[in-house]
Amino acid sequence: MTDRIPYSIPKEPGRWRAIALAAAVHAALIVFLWIGVHWQSQVPVAVEAEVWSPEVREAAPPPPTPTPPPEPIEKPVPQPVQKPVATEAPPPPKVVQPVVPDPEIALEKERKRKVQEKKDRDHAEQVLEDKERQRKADEQEKAQEKKDAAKLADKLAAKQKAADDKKKADADAKKAAEADDKLKQKQEAAKEAAKKAAIDKQRKADDAASDKRHNDDMKRLLGQATGNGASNSTGTAAQSQGPRGDPGYAQKVGAKIKGFINFNVPDGMAGNPSVEYEVQLLPDGSVASIHLRKPSGVSGFDEAVKRAIERSAPYPKDKSGSVPSSFIGIHKPKDQ
């Protein structure tokens, strides 16, 4: 059965539909290529952009004008002998296809330019803000420095005023103290003057009393000497001892003691007070005891007189030929 019937390929279904679809696709491809070539052949619109920086910069100096090199001296070149060239047909001109820029690249460049401009603008604004912030900070710092300087000046002025007030108060206190001291000195001087006047008055009274006692003693001694003379004539009365038997003995002894007194009268000494000693003597003329009956008020002079009495021993005998048992010595500093 196979040998009798020849083999035949069956027809595919949808053959005409596939052919029509292929023709439509080719036609669309041709149209797309034509539109693409036509669109790329148009001159693209150039976009120019200027980028400005907010920072002020000095323009770069123009480049120096280059010095033209010296022109070389041309040497004559021998012309080669041209050979006849066979005439040939010129080559066909080359067709240069214009370089069509890619729109995507242009868009990308424009986007980058705008982004860069935004960055530059933001940076410029940030720089301006930083400068303004720094300016305000500087102004605040200067204002604070002025306030601190004013406070310091006020503090120094107050301190100087306090020092001046204290100095003035000290000066016033010093003046008041000096016035008080002067007043006290005047009062002390007045008291001292009154005291000296009282002392002088007392010394004058004492001197007057001492002179009166001395005169009384001398009168008594003279009276006793007269009485003793009458007794001697009768031979019943005992001979008196000491100055009572010899009125000139006191002056003799006083002159001897005066020679041993070593005392310098102070300047400005008021009055001439007297010191009175009662001296007890031994039979050989040596001093048995010294009794201060009345001081002069000048201790140095009293001690000088006492030492002079001690140094004057032994004392001489009186007119009776014996040493008196005692005598009274009266001395004054200005009489030495």
Q: Is residue 278 part of a domain?
A: yes
pLDDT at res. 238: 28
φ/ψ (deg, to 5) at 291: -120, 125
CATH number, domain of 308, equals 3.30.1150.10
Q: What average pLDDT score do residues 77-87 get?
A: 54
DSSP string, 56-119: --PPPPPPPPPPPPPPPPPPPPPPPPPPP----PPPPPP-PPP-PPPHHHHHHHHHHHHHHHHH
Mean pLDDT, the chain, as a whole number? 76
Q: Is residue 294 part of a domain?
A: yes
Q: Is residue 207 part of a domain?
A: no
Are 111 and 185 in the same domain?
yes
Q: Is residue 324 part of a domain?
A: yes
CA angle 289, 318, 212 (to 5 degrees): 70
Tokens representing 23 are 């023709």
Share of the chain above pLDDT 90, in %: 18
pLDDT at res. 207: 65
Number of domains the chain contains: 2
Given a cut of 60, is residue 60 above it in pLDDT? no
Are 113 and 178 in the same domain?
yes
CB atoms near residue 252 (< 10 Å): 14
Are 184 and 112 in the same domain?
yes
* Alpha carbon distance 178, 198 (integer Å): 29
Give the relative orientation of helices 249-260 and 299-311 as an angle to the nearest 10 degrees: 110
Domain with 289 in it: 243-265+272-335
Each residue's pLDDT tens digit, 169-228: 988 888 888 888 888 888 888 887 777 777 777 667 766 666 676 666 555 545 444 334
Q: Per DSSP, what are the bridge partners of residue 287? A: 281
Q: Is residue 29 part of a domain?
A: no
Helix, strand or coil, per DSSP, at residue 192: helix
Given a cut of 80, is residue 133 above it in pLDDT? yes
Least confident window among 24-38, 156-170, 189-203, 278-292: 189-203
Given a cut of 90, is residue 137 above it in pLDDT? yes
Domain boundary among 134, 168, 194: 194
